[in-house]
Structure 1
Amino acid sequence: MLDFTPVPHTNPRKNSITPDRQRRFIAHLAATGIVKQAARHIGASLEALYKLRQRPGAEGFRAAWEAAVDCGIARLEDCALQRAIEGEERLVVSSGKLLGTERRHNEALVMFLLRQRRADRYGAQVLPGHPLYERIRAEVLAEHRSAMRQSKDEVLASLNAKLDLMRERKAQAQRLLSEGGLEPAGK
């Protein structure tokens, strides 16, 4: 991820985001997943980083940025999975006195993770009538109709081209016959 080609600076200034700073930003972004925190870590503004990302020659930096964000998302998934499995320890307080702790599990988080990671078993059944099914069906049918129209149009164009060629050859043959004073056969 850090072996990307940094964005070059033609006239570097004191506060330029140098190749070293670009790599430190990407490393910190991969570790945290938070752009603002990574920017603060290298002492750069969000605006400067987003401008740098859009400059010509920034393709490698952009790709590294996306890969770093993906690392942050993976870390977030890991933390959510850990919380779903282990739960969270919470203090039990009554009348201002600490009675102990209890472990609570977030069932909504558990179900979310199961639906996402094991959709075949826990996900929504996308059957006819389900909005997602109907949307996908409509898209597929529209693509099919378009392909059929295109195919039909191509066949018609090909037939018309062949007919035009046949008409041209017939006209040419009639011209040759009339120039030579010959009558076409069958007259």
Structure 2
Amino acid sequence: MSGSPPPSPVPTRKIARQATSAAAHVSPLPEDDDPLLAFAPYLHKQPRRNSITPDLQRRFVAVLAASGIVKQAARSIGRSIEALYKLRARPGAEGFAAAWDAALRHGTERLEDCALERALKGGFDDDPVSGWGGRGNGLLIYLLNLRGAFRVDERDLRPGHPVYEKIRREVLDEQRERERGTS
């Protein structure tokens, strides 16, 4: 992974400081020995020419961790978002799905770092070069809230919490299924 960087978007600005933010740039890819890439990939029973191979799955996860953007990671391996979501949902692709989620968390943490840096440096408010005039901060806050909504703090998981109750229902349903199968 670390040997070849992901394709970078072609800059459309004359000088680098005119780019919209650090979040628009891809951070370095994880090293080959990064635990994020140590997942069990989905293995196709009868691989075809356009199958998403284990190497492509790892490349996708690496670029996703570096960019935080699913579309960009899909483009980097030459596959559609739809094909990747289908692969993610297949039985046997749990390792890939877990690595995908971990890569998104990594991307979200990067986004939060960029937001903190903006807050400390003053952000884009009244920036005549970018022309954003403060609009970028509102969008950043929206994205952080949206992505943060899927986080669950383990300390909050107790009876009554929606995630706790969902997991409880799933476990009880599985237990009932097993009891029906043995009786």
Query: Counterpart of 2:74 in structure 1: which amino acid?
Result: A
User: Which contiguous aligned blocks of 4+ residues in structure 1 show a shift greater than 2 angstroms?
Assistant: none
Query: 2:107 matched to 1:58?
Result: no
State the match for 1:40 in structure 2: 75
The Cα shift of 1:105 comes to: 8.4
* TM-score normalised according to structure 2 size: 0.50
The Cα shift of 1:87 comes to: 1.4
State the match for 1:7 in structure 2: 42
Aligned length: 102
The Cα shift of 1:83 comes to: 0.3
Query: Counterpart of 2:96 in structure 1: which amino acid?
Result: F
Unmatched 5+ stretches in structure 1: 93-103, 117-138, 141-187
Query: 2:65 matched to 1:30?
Result: yes
Alpha-carbon distance between aligned partners in 2 of 1:5 and 1:77, rounded to the nearest angstrom: 29
RMSD: 2.7
Which of 76, 79, 85 is the aligned partner of 2:111?
76
Rg larger in structure = 1
1:81 and 1:45, CA in 2 relative to 1: closer, same or farther beyond 3 A?
A: same
Alpha-carbon distance between aligned partners in 1 of 2:107 and 2:47, rounded to the nearest angstrom: 30
3-state SS, counterpart of residue 128 of structure 2: strand
3-state SS, counterpart of residue 79 of structure 2: coil
Alpha-carbon distance between aligned partners in 2 of 1:21 and 1:56, rounded to the nearest angstrom: 18
Query: Counterpart of 1:18 in structure 2: which amino acid?
Result: T
Unmatched 5+ stretches in structure 2: 1-35, 146-159, 162-183
3-state SS, counterpart of residue 39 of structure 1: helix
Contact kept in structure 2, 1:87 and 1:105, CA below 8 Å: no
Alpha-carbon distance between aligned partners in 2 of 1:33 and 1:70, rounded to the nearest angstrom: 8
* TM-score normalised according to structure 1 size: 0.49
Contact kept in structure 2, 1:8 and 1:19, CA below 8 Å: yes
Query: Counterpart of 1:15 in structure 2: which amino acid?
Result: N
The Cα shift of 1:18 comes to: 0.2
Residue correspondence of structure 1 range 75-154 to structure 2 within 5 A: 75-88=110-123, 90-91=127-128
Contact kept in structure 2, 1:28 and 1:41, CA below 8 Å: yes
